[in-house]
Structure 1
Amino acid sequence: MTTHRLHLPLLSLLLLAITLSGCLSNRQASSTLNRVASDNCNIDSSGTSGYVFHPINLVPGSPDDLLLRQRFGERGLRMAQAVGLTHLLVQMTQLEQQNPDQPPSNQYLAIRQKLTDQLQLANFDIATAAALVDCDSKRATLTATLLTRRENSREKRMTISAITIGAVAIIGASLLNLHEQHQTADWLHIAGGVGEGGLGVLALRQKPPHAEYRHPRNPLRDIWNKSKTSTDFPPLVWYYLNKPKSGNSPSLVDALRSRWELLVALDEKAGRPRKHTRREVAYFSDGDTYTAEELTVRAAMLGQLETELRLMNNDLTILLNEIVRPITKR
């Protein structure tokens, strides 16, 4: 009986040694995780170009609308209205029609230069807004990756500990049986089984690792709240996101919000928090404690927003190409 009592502390000491062996790496990982999670994106997207754009909506069926739709595509005109260039496009198109066979006049070249200059300024605002979203998305993805690695490392340590305990119990019991100490061997088998079972129960009861993740400048917030004005996006970008693509279609803000509602609902059904408002605060407020899964959801929402901003830049490129292409190809 004395022998089997000695083996129980030995098993405990072995488990403690395995646990302590990962302490150093855990501290380093925690330091990296905290640094990444608190590394906010210091990007000013409130008015990068310094130019104030005044959007101008075309009246459907008006002479200007009919004139421009013969010359420009739908996406280019949508961007022109957001930047406020429709009046300049009308002047340029009228000059083209007056002297189609003559070299471009100085007035025509001056108007086209003004158009391209303003589109270049608009490009600065779009690029900066996209950079803000991209930075936040990559930060969320990196933090989620570090949290996942921490969870995997913890599970790996517990698995190794369980295997080690089982192996030690079997080897020790076998040696005891060789020395005819069958009762002690049985107790060692029991201790090994209890140790393995305890680690299994502990693994099941472990909560996923989390990190304090702050985002005082939250690109998702204004879209979720459908704000009239935005503090995170330049006015040009905010106008474009709120303008319907066509008469009966929803705006990009409405479309994005619908997708995010689905993502939040799926996150709830996955067994995470049951309080819907709690998750709204986490994703669309100034920050909260996030798990890896929740950060992955946030990164997915940011990725969808970034895609729309890239498409906005594509629309700007389309309009620029339509403006500068040779008249003979129009």
Structure 2
Amino acid sequence: MAEFVHLKNSFDIHPTLEKKLKIVELSQKIYQKINISSLEISAIASEMDCEEERADQIASYVKGKEDHIETKLTVSAIVAGAIGAISAGILLANTASGNTPEVVGIGTGLIEATLGILILTNKRKITYYHPGNALKDIWTAPETSSIFPVSIW
């Protein structure tokens, strides 16, 4: 760029065909470098978009699995509670049942509490492997990046 500016200033003072050709040649080199840098930026941006989409798909899949299990556990807790309440009610109606209704109530309460705890702890974790970890380079900030081209880094 310094050579281009110097040559441009020199051409303005003493225009010659050689200087004009050199200015055109330097202009083409500058535009070529700008275009290559632009392509590198576009390529990295596209790669980052793909990685983001891939991570979003995995997150959606894991969330779907969590939701599916949570629904099953919730329905199971509701069914256990209903069966316990109905059983205890029937047993209470039978005066000769002794302390069985209390045992049924405590048992189904424990089942419901266990299912509730399982709902609360239903969090899936996965290890996300990807060969080009751009965030690692950004986080650790090495002198040269293994992911980003020199012009971008």
TM-score bracket relative to the smaller structure? 0.7 to 0.9
Q: Where do residues 313-328 of structure 1 align in structure 2 (5 Å cutoff)?
A: none
Residue 17 of structure 2 corresponds to none
The alignment partner of 1:132 has SS state of: helix
> Which of the pair has the greater relative contact order for Cα pairs under 8 Å at 6+ separation?
1
**Residue 119 (structure 1) shift:** 1.4
The reply to whether residue 191 of structure 1 matches residue 107 of structure 2 is yes
The alignment partner of 2:123 has SS state of: coil
> If you compute each CA radius of gyration, which structure gives the higher value, 1 or 2?
2
In structure 2, relative to structure 1, the CA distance for the partners of 1:164 and 1:155 (3 Å cut) is: same
Give the structure with the larger helix fraction.
2
In structure 2, relative to structure 1, the CA distance for the partners of 1:115 and 1:174 (3 Å cut) is: same
TM-score (norm 1): 0.38
Structure 1 gaps of 5+ residues are: 1-85, 100-104, 239-330
Q: AA paired with 1:187? A: V
Q: AA paired with 1:193? A: G
Q: Provide the rounded CA distance (Å) in 1 between the counterparts of 2:144 and 2:72.
A: 50
Residue 230 of structure 1 corresponds to 145
**Residue 188 (structure 1) shift:** 2.4
The reply to whether residue 144 of structure 1 matches residue 59 of structure 2 is yes
Structure 2 gaps of 5+ residues are: 15-19
Q: Where do residues 77-88 of structure 1 align in structure 2 (5 Å cutoff)?
A: 86-87=1-2
In structure 2, relative to structure 1, the CA distance for the partners of 1:225 and 1:190 (3 Å cut) is: closer
**Residue 144 (structure 1) shift:** 2.4
Q: Where do residues 32-181 of structure 1 align in structure 2 (5 Å cutoff)?
A: 86-87=1-2, 89-91=4-6, 93-94=8-9, 97-98=12-13, 108-180=23-95
Q: Provide the rounded CA distance (Å) in 1 between the counterparts of 2:108 and 2:150.
A: 66
**Residue 177 (structure 1) shift:** 3.6
Q: Is the 8 A contact 2:132 2:147 kept in 1?
A: yes
**Residue 128 (structure 1) shift:** 1.4
Residue 135 of structure 2 corresponds to 220
Identity, in percent, stands at: 29
**Residue 140 (structure 1) shift:** 2.3
